[in-house]
A and B are shown apart, each in its own frame.
Chain A
Amino acid sequence: MKKLLLSLVLAFPIPSAQAELVVITHISNNLNNLTAKQVQDIFMGRTRLFPNGKFALPIDQSSPLRAEFYQKLTARPVEQINAYWARIMFTGQASPPQQLPDDKAVLQTVRENEGAIGYIDKTHVDNTVHILLPLH
């Protein structure tokens, strides 16, 4: 209910600064890079595997970066992504990626899980993770 009220209050978009995002994975994941289509397939639940056959664990965010990520990755507003997931989830096909609160939590999880794939603001990236795709 609180969430509903919050949604109503937040009905009008709050402009946010445009950041450059990077899609990251575990440092030992031996992939060079991924195409936007491959990242899309993983984040939209169309595949659960990396192109190298390893099991992929996509990590989403609950921060404002989320809307930006999907806009840049799919060229669709986040509402359409949510409606898509409502269909996939409530037809029992797949669950949406787990959401973490911020870049710090995503970095931590990606460092600890070999199959993890997440996205963060480019300014927060360091050499403990491997960059798969920059998103402008």
Chain B
Amino acid sequence: MKQTLILLTATVLLLDVANAFAKDTYPNFTVSGFGTLGASGTNTSQLGFRRDIKQTPGVTNNWGLDDDSRLGLQADADINKSWHATVQWVARNTTGDFLEQNIDWAFLRWRPADDLDIRAGRLGFDNFMLSEYRNVGYAFLWIRPPHEFYAGIPVYHFDGADIAKKFATSAGTITIKAFGGNSFLQIPTNFAGSADESFTVVGGKLAYEYGNWTARLGYSYSKNNDELSALNPLLNTLNSEAINTVWPGAQGLAQRIATKNRVAHFNAIGLAYDDGIWLAQMEVSYVNSNIASYPSVAGGYLSAGRRFGKVTLYSLLGLSKSLSKRITLSDPLIALPALSQLHSAADQLINGNGVDEKSLSLGLRWDVGEHIALKTQWSYYWLGQNGTALWRTPASGGPTPDAVNVWSVGMDFVF
């Protein structure tokens, strides 16, 4: 609610500013947008394939439009030479408040010098190469950001401030950025619809661009400020004296599952090359987390492509694996259906959020017009024993497949 108010105020201010200066020569107000119309499907009904973990239910062997389809609108106001305001809203399939969660930008930027940016408001979470434009299909090569790397990152934005300084040298441009603030996000849960999360986020990036090359390092620290409200009933039960009499150790599990004040560190390194004909990109990340339901994970991808006129052919390899070991839960002393339900809920939270997948994709991008591109991609996923948290498991349960084909077609545009 507080966030919505802040955003509404920012929007009103932005419009006000735009109107106030409309007659002057400088203030320049523009509206632009981007979008994707995409369809995808798989060869299984046992798992839902989703673009990221904020989505439900994902597509199966019933094809669907809502993994990749989205429409973004952006309003920009150049107030004068140093001040600029931006609001971006991206309609898409995501969990939580459709208006608030889909606002990815709402900030004021002050540029006191040509190479210094200071921004405040709602900002993109600039930890990885694609972090700030995961929704802008037209700006990247693939049908969607590499699944192993980006699907597990629920954070698109945060409310706070950042400062970026550029150093232009004869041997390339170096950018240093620091950011901090609070990220409010709503994520789907397996047991109670959606859950609210609030993180304190602090991080930075170091980027280097030289000719056809871009390299970057990203880091951020996220601390969970609140207990997941959806977990409270379970935690209260596990903590209760009665349960601990019939199930010694239940309290220890509650401590393990609790999310408040737990921390995740996001570390990433990326490298990209583009000479106009050949293009390649890779990123490697390590998320070090002590949140039981968001276990530590290492991931990476490597992509290479070649342009033939307006058509680009590409390949993409991805890999992601949770590093946590499976924990065996002690059993209740007596066998009761209610207790075994409790046991399985705790087990799901502690052991059910692992990621273990590899994939190979082949695809094609065809720039059919100046502002429109058609894409198609085939991906083959190998799913390991350590979990399928990036996918959505249907309520029906049952065994999940070891391998899945995903086919996608899409049209990206900007206007």
User: Which A residues are within 8 Å of any B CB, using their own CB?
Assistant: 3-4, 7-8, 10-11, 46-49, 55, 67, 74-80, 82-84, 86-87, 89-93, 95, 98
Q: How distant is the Cα of A98 from the Cα of B26 in the complex, in angstroms?
A: 13
Q: How large is the interface on B (under 10, 10 to 19, 20 to 34, 35 or more residues)?
A: 35 or more
Contact B72 A7 (CB under 8 A): no
Contact A87 B114 (CB under 8 A): no
Q: With A4-B415, A47-B168 given, is the CB distance from A87 to B276 under 8 Å?
A: no
The residue of chain B having its C-beta at the shortest distance from the C-beta of A95 within the complex is: B76
Contact B369 A7 (CB under 8 A): yes
Binds A, one of B6-14, B38-46, B132-140, B263-271: B132-140
Contact B114 A86 (CB under 8 A): no
Contact with A along B110-151 (1 / 0, CB 8 A): 000010010100011000000011011011100000000000
Cβ–Cβ < 8 Å partners of B132 in chain A:
90-92
A-B contact pairs, 17 of them (CB 8 A): A7-B371, A8-B369, A8-B372, A10-B369, A11-B369, A47-B114, A47-B168, A48-B114, A74-B276, A75-B276, A79-B367, A87-B140, A89-B32, A92-B86, A92-B88, A93-B117, A98-B28
Among candidates A3, A83, A93, residue contacting B138 with C-beta atoms closer than 8 Å: A83
B380 → A minimal CB distance (Å): 27
The residue of chain A having its C-beta at the shortest distance from the C-beta of B136 within the complex is: A90
Q: How distant is the Cα of A84 from the Cα of B86 in the complex, in angstroms?
A: 18
Given contacts A47-B168, A89-B74, 5 further A-B contacts (CB under 8 A): A3-B371, A90-B136, A91-B132, A93-B117, A95-B76
Q: How distant is the Cα of A67 from the Cα of B78 in the complex, in angstroms?
A: 26
Q: How distant is the Cα of A79 from the Cα of B276 in the complex, in angstroms?
A: 11
Question: Does B24 belong to the interface (CB within 8 Å)?
Answer: no
Q: How distant is the Cα of A80 from the Cα of B367 in the complex, in angstroms?
A: 9
B413 → A minimal CB distance (Å): 6
The residue of chain A having its C-beta at the shortest distance from the C-beta of B141 within the complex is: A83
Contact A90 B370 (CB under 8 A): no
Q: With A7-B371, A8-B372 given, is the CB distance from A79 to B105 under 8 Å?
A: no
Among candidates B86, B124, B173, B370, residue contacting A82 with C-beta atoms closer than 8 Å: B370
Give the dominant DSSP class at B's interface. Answer: strand
Among candidates A4, A49, A87, residue contacting B133 with C-beta atoms closer than 8 Å: A87
Contact with A along B404-415 (1 / 0, CB 8 A): 000000000111
Question: Does B109 belong to the interface (CB within 8 Å)?
Answer: yes
Q: How distant is the Cα of A7 from the Cα of B368 in the complex, in angstroms?
A: 8
Question: Does B310 belong to the interface (CB within 8 Å)?
Answer: yes
Q: With A47-B168, A95-B78 given, is the CB distance from A76 to B276 under 8 Å?
A: yes
Cβ–Cβ < 8 Å partners of A76 in chain B:
276
Q: How distant is the Cα of A84 from the Cα of B173 in the complex, in angstroms?
A: 17
Contact B368 A92 (CB under 8 A): no
Contact with A along B381-415 (1 / 0, CB 8 A): 00000000000000000000000000000000111
Cβ–Cβ < 8 Å partners of B49 in chain A:
none
Q: With A48-B114, A90-B34, A95-B78 given, is the CB distance from A82 to B88 under 8 Å?
A: no
Could you tell me which residues of chain B, from 30 to 62, have a CB within 8 Å of some CB in chain A? 30, 32, 34
Contact A82 B114 (CB under 8 A): no
Q: How distant is the Cα of A103 from the Cα of B111 in the complex, in angstroms?
A: 31
Cβ–Cβ < 8 Å partners of A87 in chain B:
133, 136, 139-140
The residue of chain B having its C-beta at the shortest distance from the C-beta of A84 within the complex is: B139
Question: Does B179 belong to the interface (CB within 8 Å)?
Answer: no
Contact B105 A92 (CB under 8 A): yes
Contact B34 A86 (CB under 8 A): yes
B324 → A minimal CB distance (Å): 33
B162 → A minimal CB distance (Å): 10
A26 → B minimal CB distance (Å): 16
Q: How distant is the Cα of A75 from the Cα of B212 in the complex, in angstroms?
A: 12
Cβ–Cβ < 8 Å partners of A48 in chain B:
114
The residue of chain B having its C-beta at the shortest distance from the C-beta of A66 within the complex is: B370
Cβ–Cβ < 8 Å partners of A4 in chain B:
372, 413, 415
The residue of chain B having its C-beta at the shortest distance from the C-beta of A48 within the complex is: B114
Could you tell me which residues of chain B, from 50 to 87, have a CB within 8 Å of some CB in chain A? 72, 74, 76, 78, 81, 86
B365 → A minimal CB distance (Å): 10
Contact A55 B81 (CB under 8 A): yes
The residue of chain A having its C-beta at the shortest distance from the C-beta of B124 within the complex is: A91
B360 → A minimal CB distance (Å): 24
Among A55, A76, A87, A91, residue most surrounded by chain B Cβ atoms (within 10 Å): A91
B78 → A minimal CB distance (Å): 7
Question: Does B156 belong to the interface (CB within 8 Å)?
Answer: no
Cβ–Cβ < 8 Å partners of A11 in chain B:
368-369
Among B32, B139, B310, residue most surrounded by chain A Cβ atoms (within 10 Å): B139
Q: With A7-B368, A11-B368, A49-B114 given, is the CB distance from A92 to B34 under 8 Å?
A: no
Q: How distant is the Cα of A67 from the Cα of B88 in the complex, in angstroms?
A: 28
Q: How distant is the Cα of A47 from the Cα of B414 in the complex, in angstroms?
A: 24
Cβ–Cβ < 8 Å partners of B119 in chain A:
92
